[in-house]
Every structure is written in C-alpha cells, then in structure tokens.
C-alpha cells in the first residue's frame, strides 16, 4: 500500500509540473550504534518499489570507529559503505561522493545517467567540542551542483540528553558558520539553493511523563506529543530553524529501543522515547530585488540580483512524498528514518562536457581506441584520464584500467580526439563495459559512453591459457567472481 501511494503521489507531481524535470531522492538517516550492517537493505532502500530513485543520500551516525577498524576504514571502504555500494552498484548507481568523520558517515549515490551532470563536488566536516564530546559529535556535508542547481546535504550528530536543547541549536549554528566551500556561487551552506539537514539531532520530548508518551505511541496519537517536541519548540523562537521545513511526525519515535526488538527501553534507566532522528530541508528564501546596483560587483545586492534571476528562469520545487521510520531493523537502539522527495527543476545544463565512445571491436587481442569530443569548453589537464569500467561499477575508483588522455592521444582535430588503449590492459574474459572521462581539474566524471561489449580473447582461448598467466591485470579482472 505504501509503494502504491508513493506511485500515485509521483503521478500527481508529474502532472502538475510544467517547470522541467522531476527527480526522485531517497534519503536515510540512521544511528547504527556501532553495529555491523544487516544482511539485507531491501526494505531500507525500497528496492522493490515500482519507481526507483534518481539519487540516494545515506547519513549514518555512530558507525563503529575503534582504533583498528578506523585505520582499516581509511584505507578500504568501511563495511557499511561496502554494503551500500555492492547493493546499489548492480542497479547502476555509483557512489559519487562520501565523507567520514569518526562515527559520522555520509554517502551520495546517483544513477549513472545523471553522473556527468553532477559537478562542483566538495565534502567537509565540523567537529563540535561542547561538553567534552570533541570529535564524537558534529556534522559532515556533501555539496554539489545537480544539473546546475546547488544542493547541500548536512548529516549531524548533536549533543545528547534532555536538558541540552539550546546547546543543540548552538552546535547546528556553529556548523553552519564553520563550513565554507571554494565556490563563489555558494560559499556557505545557507547560500545553496536547497539544503537537507538530517541526522541524530537528539531533540527530545519535554514535560510529558513516560506513561503519557507511551500511551500516545500505543494509540498512534502522535500529534498529542508534537507540541512538546524540542525541535518544534525551538523553531518557534529561532528564526534560522523556521527556514527549515519538516513533514509531520506521523511515525512512532525512533529512540530508544532494546536491541534486537521493537520494545522501548526496558532497562533501569527507562529512557523516554523521542524523535531524535530527523530529516528537514530548506529552499533558499526568495531574494527581494536589490534597491540599486552595487558598484563593487561582488556585494550582497549583486548576489540578490543573481538569485532573483535564477529563481525565475530555473525554478526549483521540493515535495516530500514519504517520511517514516523503518521498524524492520533492530540491530541498533535507533530505528532508521526514511524520506522520499520529488525535486522538480528546470535544468541549467542539458549536455555533458564530453561525449566518448569505444571505436571498433574491443578485446585483449588488439590495441583499442577511444574517441571523444568536447561538447563545451572545460579546463582540460594533463592529469585527465579515461577509465574502463564494468557495467555495475560502484565508484570512480572501481575502474578495470585507465589511460591518460594527453599521454596516449593518437590523433585529434578540434572536434574528435582519439586515445589509445594497450591490449595488455584489456580484460581477457571480456564483458559489458563503459568508458568514463574523469576531469582532474573538476574532480568528477564529465562524460560516460554507452555500454559496449569487450569480447573474450580468442588468442587466450585457442592457446588454452589461464587468464592469470597472461598478465597481472587479468588475475583480478578475469576471475569468475569479478564478472559474476
């Protein structure tokens, strides 16, 4: 029923949208309480839903960060990241960006089709040191432009305990003040067109006693608790918080549960349930027209004028389709919270910076050629490279092989450039692959080829050679596990 309602809601959004394209964003926040990942993420990511998201954003808190684990996680993907990547990779999502600050982890995934239109990617973090929690609490963020629209995702874990509501707001404001980006258009979080603020924000339910709170939960009369939710209360007196929207809390509080159960805290402490885990969003307020031009060319009036023009020419709307907890998971004392949004926007960017394709047949028997064409000017570099990836790859670093664009350039004119790939670098077993052009200056993929088939090596097959005896590369890429 939930998935059917989602689909109906999507249809109504599409019918009423005359401003551009609609994109589906699936967000998750979950305090995992140092637990290892579950075996299956199907329910969490709605993998059986009839409509798949365009983007996934996953914010975790309290990911285990003991000394040995944390050292290994800085070299290899942590178990949580690995599970999300291996789950979403075969469905043609790639991890575009991620950031980790001890227990805080933020992951951004995109459908492959959108990747060349995701640029200006930056990630940063802020530690909050109030009450001696240095490094244990704070915020991690990923910001980027999506078809030209500046988006920012901020995953926070704020100070705990009932009495620190004001301090939680102070921490949030400190994070907003501290995080800056190398971008004239959006140098701070609040300069972004759209901001999502989520995480274990740790706001509690004040005043009401335990019996009343649990009675409301059992009767599903959640609205009786809303007025005493600390975040709702703080919004009434904090102007900054008023700029953030949140859907109704029509799901039971997500904290605190006994492990491996749906029973609220039965320990001696009997902590009161609360909606600690939240997802909010903020569309940049529409700027009033400036009174007069600013001669400096960089003043606030010029920025306002730019914002007004952008709002009118490239509208951006947000609609929340779903906001709920996921009771199926019980490895933590928190339940995950899921929200699905529809972003309606007019694209500022319609074409990728580069178009590329594999020329002719590819196999490990002959040297191969890539053809690419710059479709728009971009800051090319000697460090630009083209990677060969298997279909279903999980991240930029998941290439089979790569070639330096400038070093291996064979021939070019202003419109078409050929780049050579040695047969020694091509997997012997073959498979379905794509090519990606990575811009070193822009630090992102700016062009992706259509999928094409790399043929199995006839020479290796005829001579009966084992793949691992042909070259070092194929020890990895030609294994059955790799292609299956």
Model pLDDT for residues 50-106, shown as the tens digit of each residue:
999 999 999 999 999 776 665 555 556 799 999 999 999 999 999 999 999 989 999
Under 8 Å between Cβ of 121 and 443 = yes
Residue 12 has pLDDT above 70, yes or no: no
Residue 240 has pLDDT above 80, yes or no: yes
pLDDT at 415: 85
Q: Which of 112-121, 134-143, 243-252, 400-409 has the lowest mean pLDDT?
A: 134-143
Residue 455 has pLDDT above 50, yes or no: yes
pLDDT at 483: 36
Residue 238: which residues within 8 A CB-CB, separation 6 or more?
A: 169
Q: Which of 68-72, 213-217, 284-288 has the lowest mean pLDDT?
A: 68-72
Helices (H) and strands (E) in the chain, counts: 13, 21
Residue 263 has pLDDT above 90, yes or no: yes
**If pLDDT is split at 50, 70 and 90, which confidence band does 43 have?**
very high
**If pLDDT is split at 50, 70 and 90, which confidence band does 33 have?**
very high
pLDDT at 478: 38
**If pLDDT is split at 50, 70 and 90, which confidence band does 462 have?**
confident
- Which residue would you say has higher pLDDT here, 74 or 151? 151
Residue 482 has pLDDT above 50, yes or no: no
pLDDT at 264: 97
Under 8 Å between Cβ of 229 and 223 = no
Q: Which of 9-13, 98-102, 329-333 has the lowest mean pLDDT?
A: 9-13
Residue 348 has pLDDT above 80, yes or no: yes
* Closest listed residue to residue 143, CA positions, set 108, 92, 112: 108
pLDDT at 473: 41
pLDDT at 325: 97
Residue 190 has pLDDT above 90, yes or no: yes
Residue 347 has pLDDT above 50, yes or no: yes
pLDDT at 254: 98
Residue 403: which residues within 8 A CB-CB, separation 6 or more?
A: 370, 385, 386, 419, 420, 421, 425
pLDDT at 413: 78
- Which residue would you say has higher pLDDT here, 105 or 20? 105
**If pLDDT is split at 50, 70 and 90, which confidence band does 343 have?**
very high
pLDDT at 484: 36
CA distance 375 to 298: 30
Residue 414 has pLDDT above 90, yes or no: no
pLDDT at 130: 57
Compute the Cα dihedral for 478, 480, 482, 484 and give only its sign.
Answer: positive
- Which residue would you say has higher pLDDT here, 11 or 289? 289
Mean pLDDT across the stretch 133-152?
89
pLDDT at 466: 53
Q: Does the predicted TM-score (pTM) go above 0.75?
A: yes
Mean pLDDT across the stretch 28-46?
97
Q: Which of 298-307, 341-350, 369-378 has the lowest mean pLDDT?
A: 298-307
Half-sphere exposure of 422 (CA within 13 A, CB side): 10
Other residues' Cβ atoms within 10 Å of the Cβ of residue 432: 13
pLDDT at 65: 79
Residue 449: which residues within 8 A CB-CB, separation 6 or more?
A: 356, 357, 358, 434, 435, 436
What does pLDDT average to over the chain?
A: 88
**If pLDDT is split at 50, 70 and 90, which confidence band does 136 have?**
confident
CA distance 320 to 297: 37
Return phi, psi of residue 303, to 5°. -60, -40
**If pLDDT is split at 50, 70 and 90, which confidence band does 4 have?**
very low
Q: Which of 24-33, 153-162, 294-303 has the lowest mean pLDDT?
A: 294-303
**If pLDDT is split at 50, 70 and 90, which confidence band does 112 have?**
very high
pLDDT at 297: 54
């Amino acid at each position: 029923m939930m998935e059917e309602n989602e689909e109906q809601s999507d249809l109504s959004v599409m019918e009423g949208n005359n401003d551009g394209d609609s994109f589906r964003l699936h967000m998750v926040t979950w305090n995992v309480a140092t637990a290892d990942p579950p075996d299956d993420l199907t329910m969490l990511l709605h993998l059986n839903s009839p409509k798949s998201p365009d983007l996934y954003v996953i914010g975790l808190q309290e990911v285990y960060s003991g000394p040995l684990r944390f050292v290994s996680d800085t070299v290899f993907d942590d178990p949580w990241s690995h599970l999300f990547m291996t789950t979403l990779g075969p469905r043609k999502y790639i991890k575009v960006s991620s950031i980790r600050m001890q227990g805080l982890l933020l992951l951004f995934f995109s459908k492959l089709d959108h990747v060349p239109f995701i640029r200006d990617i930056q990630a940063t973090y802020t530690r909050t040191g109030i009450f001696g929690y240095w490094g244990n609490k704070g915020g991690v963020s990923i910001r980027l432009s999506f078809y030209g629209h500046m988006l920012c995702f901020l995953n926070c874990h704020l100070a705990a305990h009932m009495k620190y509501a004001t301090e939680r707001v102070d921490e949030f404001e400190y994070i907003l003040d501290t995080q800056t980006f190398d971008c004239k258009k959006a140098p701070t979080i609040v300069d972004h067109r759209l901001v999502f603020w989520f995480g274990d924000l740790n706001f509690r339910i004040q005043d009401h006693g335990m019996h009343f709170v649990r009675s409301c939960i059992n009767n599903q009369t959640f609205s009786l608790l809303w007025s005493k939710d600390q975040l709702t209360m703080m919004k009434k007196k904090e102007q900054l918080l008023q700029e953030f929207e949140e859907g109704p809390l029509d799901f039971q509080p997500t904290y605190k549960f006994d492990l491996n159960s749906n029973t609220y805290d039965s320990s001696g402490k009997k902590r009161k349930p609360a909606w600690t885990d939240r997802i909010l969003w903020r569309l940049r307020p529409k700027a009033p027209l400036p009174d007069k031009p600013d001669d400096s060319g960089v003043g606030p009036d010029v920025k306002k004028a730019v914002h007004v023009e952008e709002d009118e020419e490239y509208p951006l709307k947000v609609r929340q389709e779903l906001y709920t907890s996921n009771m199926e998971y019980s490895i933590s004392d928190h339940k995950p919270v899921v929200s699905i949004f529809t972003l309606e926007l007019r694209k500022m960017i319609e074409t990728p910076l580069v178009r590329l394709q594999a020329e002719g047949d590819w196999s490990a028997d002959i040297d191969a050629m890539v053809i690419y064409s710059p479709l728009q000017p971009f800051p090319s570099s000697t460090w630009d490279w083209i990677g060969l990836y298997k279909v279903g790859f999980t991240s930029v670093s998941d290439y089979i092989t790569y070639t330096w664009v400038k070093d291996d350039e064979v021939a070019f004119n202003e419109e078409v450039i050929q780049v050579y790939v040695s047969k020694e670098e091509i997997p012997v077993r073959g498979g379905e692959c794509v090519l990606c052009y990575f811009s070193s200056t822009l630090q992102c993929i700016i062009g992706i080829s259509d999928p094409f088939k790399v043929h199995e090596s006839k020479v290796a097959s005829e001579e009966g050679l084992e793949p691992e005896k042909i070259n070092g590369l194929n020890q990895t890429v030609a294994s059955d596990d790799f292609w299956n």
